[in-house]
Amino acid sequence: KAGVTQTPRYLIKTRGQQVTLSCSPISGHRSVSWYQQTPGQGLQFLFEYFSETQRNKGNFPGRFSGRQFSNSRSEMNVSTLELGDSALYLCASSPGTGAVGTDTQYFGPGTRLTVL
């Protein structure tokens, strides 16, 4: 099976712009989670989507949003970019059909976002 894919892999934006990142999960997986990784804060959960519905949300401002399509592909959007949004954004997919909390999440290669 192909793994989780994320596009683009690298992105450079300027403050105030918005950005959309894309994630295609492993075939058959219905849950997609997004994480932000920075040297200072480590890996932090953004949100999880399952069957086109946001199932969980982390402690991030409303500038961070996402959605999931019927084919389980997901996008996340960051509006009004700030310098502090520079990070590696990771998408993880899981089957989503097991007992809640037991799913194994498989990470994509990430999108490296730099905000200038």
Partner 1 sequence: QKEVEQNSGPLSVPEGAIASLNCTYSDRGSQSFFWYRQYSGKSPELIMSIYSNGDKEDGRFTAQLNKASQYVSLLIRDSQPSDSATYLCAVVRAGNMLTFGGGTRLMVKP
| Cβ closest to partner 1, residue 9 vs residue 15 | 9
What is the contact mask toward partner 1 in residues 81 to 100, using x (rule: CB under 8 A)? -------x-x-x-x-x---x
Closest distance to partner 1 from the beta carbon of 90 (Å): 6
Q: Distance between CA atoms of 44 and 32, rounded to whole angstroms?
A: 15
60 near partner 1, rule: CB under 8 A: no
List CB contacts of 24: < 8 A, sequence separation 6 or more. Answer: 4, 5, 6, 72, 73
**What does each C-alpha distance from 64 to 31, 33, 96 come to in angstroms?**
18, 13, 22
Stretch that binds partner 1, among 10-18, 31-39, 61-69, 75-83 (CB under 8 A): 31-39
74 near partner 1, rule: CB under 8 A: no
58 near partner 1, rule: CB under 8 A: yes
Q: Distance between CA atoms of 91 and 110, rounded to whole angstroms?
A: 7
| Cβ closest to partner 1, residue 85 vs residue 103 | 103
**What does each C-alpha distance from 106 to 15, 17, 29 come to in angstroms?**
31, 30, 10
Interaction site with partner 1 (CB under 8 A):
31, 33, 35, 42-45, 48, 55-56, 58, 88, 90, 92, 94, 96, 100-110
